[in-house]
Chain A
Amino acid sequence: MIKFNNVTKIYSPGIIVLQNISFEIKEGEFVSIVGKSGAGKTTLVRLIMGLETPNYGDVYFEDINLGDADASKIQKIRRRIGGIHQDYKLLPKKTVYENVAYIMQVEGKNNEEIKKEVPKVLDIIGLKDKIDNFPDELSGGEQQRLAIARALVNHPDIIIADEPTGNLDPYNSYEVISLLQKMNQAGKTVILATHDREIINKLGKRVITIENGKILRDEEAGRFII
């Protein structure tokens, strides 16, 4: 589903963030990308989402080379990805309801479907009573739950979580990881970028370890070892 082919990303002369990265992620896999802060995890995630282009090499989403794809194709690919980020990336001037509805509006869904789906999703994640609140009126855990609701409402093919537990307490972190596992069990491809050792070791899934921009190891049922 996702393929990196000798990808190198350089931000400025002397700053090589990723160097000759090659790997493949199949549909339905749960893959953790681990490494220290600054290892290149977020850059890798941004490359998958087409928010960055590699200086060398190619990134493929299914058979589409993201480096050659036009803006319209890339926007369509992003709609198939449910993104969960450390800083939540919520729309601060939209209410809880509007934040989730926005994703469906981007997809062009009609108003009836949105009115039916959004309250359902908010109920599942426990934010039904805060439907008219704005993100800055929610706790950190609630904001991340909102981000998850937004990521899942359109039933994406792939979920990318970039340090989703970075700003959460252990209870909320556990809930987020459990949810990702459930999504994967339901057939979704999940990519989790993290530097949390405990989470990785508990998951027991495939682990790609990045250090200094290079793949250190790529193991099925891997552990967090740096």
Chain B
Amino acid sequence: MFTNFKRILTFAINDFSRNKGMSIAAIFVLSITIMLVTGLFFFQGVTGYLTSQIKDKIDITAYFKDGTSEQDILNVRDEILTMSPNIKNIEYVSKDQALSSFNDKHKDNPVLARALQEVGSNPFLPSLNITTNGEPSQYASVANILQTSDFSKLIDKVDLAQKKDTIEKIYSITSNITLFGILLGVILIIVAMLVVFNTIKLVIENSKEEISTMRTVGASDWFIRGPFVIQGIIYGVVAFLICILLSAVIAYFLSPKVAVVLPGFDMFDYFLTNWWIFVLIQLGFGMVMGAISAIIVVKKHLEV
């Protein structure tokens, strides 16, 4: 069995090297399709970053009654964190921080500055800005906790009602972006699989007379099929090596340009952090598609 496997491997390597034109063409097409699938993964990274940035901007604010102590507010914060698993972040904003933030935001507006002086004291209330994992129902659930639990007597108001429509709109947009990404991904992966299958099919069709001769002389199905499957795998591995290098280079050089459009998103860092997924996708797609395509096409010729 080992001898047979060695022979099959030798046949595959010989066929690969003696059919240079076909092999190069097959590797080229495989590389393009693997890069397409890789591009999808980068796209998923970008959309994921975008949607999380958008969701992070959404929050509800619980305003506490004037005079509530900082310690009480921090206790409420700790309690909310234990009561709701969907909470991503709670930020405490004191009266002074609220005033300072207002002044910074409107420093070019003397009318507002004068109005504040007229009031005399700091009109702002201490608050907790609460961000959840995104779904509108989670904000409603948090608002409900704030309004019905023991510490609700400390709370002046929760601004969910004003923000509800905005939250729902934003969630709808981000969901649609994600869904679009998934649909596009599925379609492109199917297209990529068909392209790879047809490329391997063309390579093997070129050898159909050979397959017929091998059948005639009594070679077993796997003795015939084996070299083609291994050739398909070799195409996949070579295409992977080309693509992983290309992906790294493209990510490195595009990263600063992407950061201009999406500040905070480092494409090269995304590639390095997820390098094992890139390897899995590229190597897996290339090798698996190469092998499966070969098995299917040769099977057809073995049945003739």
Contacts and interface: CB of A to CB of B under 8 A. Distances in A.
Interface of A: 49, 51, 71-72, 75-81, 83, 89-94, 98, 102-103, 105-106, 108, 110-111, 150
A71 B219 CA distance: 11
Nearest to A106: B219
Interface of B: 3-4, 7, 14-15, 18-19, 207, 209-210, 212-221, 223
Contacts, number: 54
Shortest 8 CB-CB contacts between residues of A and residues of B: A78-B218, A79-B218, A89-B213, A106-B219, A75-B218, A93-B18, A105-B7, A91-B210
Contacts of B15: 93
Contacts of B7: 105
Contacts of B18: 93
Given A92-B210, A93-B210, A108-B4, A102 B14 contact: no
Contacts of A89: 209, 212-213, 216
A16 to B, nearest CB: 21
A49 B216 contact: yes
B161 to A, nearest CB: 74
A90 B218 contact: no
A90 B213 contact: yes
A77 B218 contact: yes
A98 B15 CA distance: 12
Nearest to A72: B220
A71 B221 contact: yes
Contacts of A105: 7
Q: Which of B213, B217, B219 has the most CB of A within 10 A?
A: B217
Given A49-B216, A83-B217, A93-B207, 12 more contacts: A78-B215, A89-B212, A89-B216, A90-B213, A92-B210, A93-B14, A93-B15, A98-B14, A106-B214, A106-B220, A106-B223, A108-B3
A90 B209 CA distance: 9
B215 A51 contact: yes
A91 B19 CA distance: 13
A193 to B, nearest CB: 14
A77 B218 CA distance: 7
